[in-house]
Amino acid sequence: MQIAVFGKQFNKVFFNSCRNLFQLFKEHEVEVIIYKPFYEFLLTDVKMKPEVSGFFTDHEGVRHADLVFSIGGDGTFLEAVTFVGDKGIPIVGVNSGRLGFLADISQSEMQVAIRQVLEGNYQVRQLDLLALKTEDGCFGNNNFALNELAITKRDSSAMITIHTYVNDKFLNSFWADGLIISTTTGSTAYSLSVGGPILHPDSKSFIITPIAPHNLNVRPVVVPNDVEITLKVEGRDSKFLASLDSRSEVFENTVHLKVKKAGFSVKVIELEGHSFFTTLRNKLMWGVDKRN
């Protein structure tokens, strides 16, 4: 088995857990390739030299991996998705800090959970993505997102207007600070923070959520994810910001943005005892209030 390890910097509380993780890889005699900048971080900051058989720096380097391990938080997981792309390689999210929605294997359960993964005791779930198409090829080959597309103004000036069409039928002109087109996976991310609903990842929907709309009666709208959403943006400025998960590009107001479900999905590992509802309760601390 070959595994690819992708990670970013983490704080000292995860140093020993990281050492234990690579020891588990060694015990199970798996072939490890590692993201080169992450390997350098382990050498210089964690003071460990993991046994690896090679390095990768781009998406081509993980092509032959059986699993991709993301070491960090949900942001790291989303970046790992750009390395996997349409290759169909399952991603394992190991959280180096607090519990995440995507990186949901915590330090406290890591030893047992990683053994289960390496022994093949898991299920694979497929998560839908969205894809962005523009006339100028914005974002190139990385024009997809697991969480959301966010359209925002570039400064703190006046609000912008986002004319929104669903399958070429006019929905609304959102006068707001921006607009989020979210997948169901992204319903617990940016969309949730601005008042969007929580949807189960299997719901096959998009959420259209305005950011600080001028009219308070404008609410999020849920539509099927087999539609095409077209966005036309105008405002005092001629340039605006488009963000796919953590990647951002500036675009002109003459550019029309079209959003559809991506032609591929992302595979994630789900262990026994883990579920969307379990993570939801833990992450949002439902039931912590003793009155419940």
For the chain, give every domain's residue range. Answer: 2-122+271-284, 129-263
CATH architecture of the domain covering 2-122+271-284: 3-Layer(aba) Sandwich (3.40)
Q: How high is the pLDDT of residue 155?
A: 77
Residues 6+ apart with CB under 8 A from 40: none
Residue-level pLDDT at 292: 59
pLDDT at res. 61: 95
Please tell me the predicted confidence (pLDDT) of residue 90.
97
| DSSP letters for 120-160 | T--EEEEEEEEEEE-TT-TTGGG-EESSEEEEE-SSSSS-E
Taking only the tens of pLDDT, the chain with its 292 residues reads 999 999 999 999 999 999 999 999 999 999 999 999 999 999 999 999 999 999 999 999 999 999 999 999 999 999 999 999 999 999 999 999 876 789 889 888 999 999 999 999 999 999 999 999 999 899 999 999 999 999 999 877 789 999 999 999 999 999 999 999 999 999 999 999 999 999 999 999 999 999 999 988 999 999 999 999 999 999 988 899 999 998 999 999 999 999 999 999 999 998 887 888 888 888 888 877 666 5
pTM for the model stands at 0.92
- The predicted pLDDT at position 101 comes to 87
The confidence score (pLDDT) of residue 291 equals 66
Query: Looking at domain 129-263, what is its CATH homologous superfamily?
Result: Probable inorganic polyphosphate/atp-NAD kinase; domain 2 (2.60.200.30)
- Is residue 45 part of the annotated active site? The answer reads no
Out of 45, 58, 74, 136, the active site residue is: 74
